[in-house]
């Protein structure tokens, strides 16, 4: 496709537009009953920002044309230009447009953020809380002072139905202090693990993202990053609309968004 084509040319499958940015720029010119078609087998990176509504029984429709797999609306961005920083860990620059990064894939397979202990360890990867102090501190007599987990997240099962992610504010010996994520307090005998820290990377595919430096680290072990297509979530939402309605989405696939696939506010239908 080519975004320089006119709207009339873009109605011909041999001269389509290329990007979601072009669609968003044209969106206010769409009318009830219009149909926007994406080519099957293609991937379109970005967010659809709806600024126009259809009518009851006559929506604006987004669907597919051609043959093959459903077209993909993707929040992923490709990651490359890796630097070997040692011990099987490689680093690459990656600019996520959101405050967090929630998904990384290698050759289309999703891998989890690095954690300690690994999920394959004893007790399904949970350490045990020996004592809990209010909503800001836990102790574990088996916890080592190294590595220091300051700046990581401590993920605490606070009761049978609550698992909270809490920012570690300091770590000294067997004690972890954290900023609370909710009003729930930790309890003695329940479990926790550590994530979102570079020292957790020791299993293939585990990753860590530093939002300050905008660098992604992945553990490849003895493998080369060049053997894998690595993608990470860049966009927050797939489709966004506010006070718009009667929009129909059909035969499309969505992937790789950090927050929501559809972010809908104050709509009608």
Task: Give the SS3 label for residue 11.
Answer: helix
Label residue 268 by pLDDT band (50, 70, 90): low
Q: How far is CA 113 from CA 50, 58, 65, 127, in A?
A: 32, 44, 36, 17
Percent of residues, the chain, with pLDDT higher than 70: 99
pLDDT tens-digit profile of 217-261? 999 999 999 999 999 999 999 999 888 889 999 999 999 999 999
Please tell me the distance from the alpha carbon of residue 50 to that of residue 245, in angstroms, as a whole number.
Answer: 9
Q: Is the confidence at residue 113, as pLDDT, over 70?
A: yes
- By DSSP bridging, strand 247-249 and strand 60-65 are parallel
Q: Strand 104-106's sheet: what is its strand order?
A: 76-79, 230-233, 104-106, 109-111
pLDDT tens-digit profile of 163-198? 999 999 999 999 999 998 788 999 999 999 999 999
């Amino acid at each position: 496709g080519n975004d320089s084509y006119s709207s009339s040319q873009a109605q011909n499958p041999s001269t389509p537009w290329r990007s979601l940015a072009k669609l968003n720029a044209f969106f206010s010119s769409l009318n009830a009953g219009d149909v926007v078609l994406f080519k099957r087998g293609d991937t379109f990176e970005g967010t659809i920002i709806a600024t126009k509504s259809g009518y009851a029984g006559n929506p604006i429709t987004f669907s597919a044309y051609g043959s093959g797999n459903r077209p993909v609306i993707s929040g992923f961005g490709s990651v490359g230009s890796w630097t070997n920083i040692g011990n099987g860990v490689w680093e690459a620059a990656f600019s996520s447009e959101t405050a967090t990064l929630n998904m990384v894939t290698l050759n289309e397979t999703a891998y989890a953020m690095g954690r300690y202990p690994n999920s394959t360890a004893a007790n399904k990867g949970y350490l045990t809380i020996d004592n809990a102090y209010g909503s800001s501190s836990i102790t574990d007599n088996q916890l080592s002072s190294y590595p220091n987990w300051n700046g990581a997240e401590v993920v605490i099962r606070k009761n049978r139905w609550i698992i909270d992610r809490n920012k570690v504010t300091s770590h000294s010996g067997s004690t972890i202090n954290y900023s609370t994520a909710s009003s729930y307090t930790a309890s003695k005998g329940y479990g926790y693990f550590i994530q979102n820290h570079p020292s957790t990377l020791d299993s293939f595919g585990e990753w860590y993202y530093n939002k300050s430096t905008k660098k992604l680290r992945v553990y490849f072990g003895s493998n080369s990053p060049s053997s894998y297509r690595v993608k990470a979530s860049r966009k927050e939402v797939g489709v966004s609309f506010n006070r718009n309605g009667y929009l129909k989405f059909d035969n499309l696939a969505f992937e790789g968004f950090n927050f929501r696939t559809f972010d809908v506010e104050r709509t009608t239908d």
